[in-house]
Amino acid sequence: MDGGSCNGCEIEIGSSFGPVYDAERLGIRLVASPRHADGLMVTGPVTHNMVGPLQKTLEATPGPKIVIAVGDCALDCGAFRDGYGVAGTVADFVPVDVEIPGCPPDPSAIVAALRGLIG
């Protein structure tokens, strides 16, 4: 779920599931719809236009569910703080369970965080 990110974090998430880090070997999969998801990875600061979609996406995810805020922007808006289009951090709108800092976070950090979730 992209709340308004610069797409840096998406690239790192992509490489976490790429051939080098291959998070799928741990049984973690990226799915196409929140209906199939156990959790949401949210990137970027939340812009005014994305507040509604963010909440709808969380509502559409079946419980029990986890929200993972990925990247500095998701945690504290990073470089976009006080931007005219930015509404706030992810935690301002939905309850965040796991935080992955970094701009962007390293794939190994993302895999480690996900690994921590599946125990």
- Distance, in Å, from the CA atom of 40 to the CA atom of 86, rounded to the nearest integer, reads 20
8-state DSSP, 23: G
What is the distance between the alpha carbons of residues 116 and 28, in angstroms, rounded to a whole number? 12
Shortest CB 85 distance to another protein, Å = 17
Q: Are 40 and 68 in contact (CB under 8 A)?
A: yes
**Measured from the CB atom, is 14 or 62 closer to another protein?**
62
Minimum separation from the CB atom of position 62 to another protein (A): 10
What are residue 16's phi and psi, to 5 degrees? Answer: -60, -30
Instruction: Tell me the C-alpha distance between 104 and 60, whole Å.
Output: 27
Nearer to another protein, 74 or 113 (CB): 74
Kindly tell me which of 50 and 70 has the beta carbon lying closer to another protein.
Answer: 50
CA dist., res. 115 & res. 119, Å (int) = 6
Binding site residues, another protein, CB under 8 A: 33-35, 52-54, 56-57, 59-60
Closer residue to another protein, CB minimum distance, 41 or 111: 41
Shortest distance in whole angstroms from residue 25 CB to another protein: 29
Query: Least distance from C-beta 56 to another protein, angstroms?
Result: 5
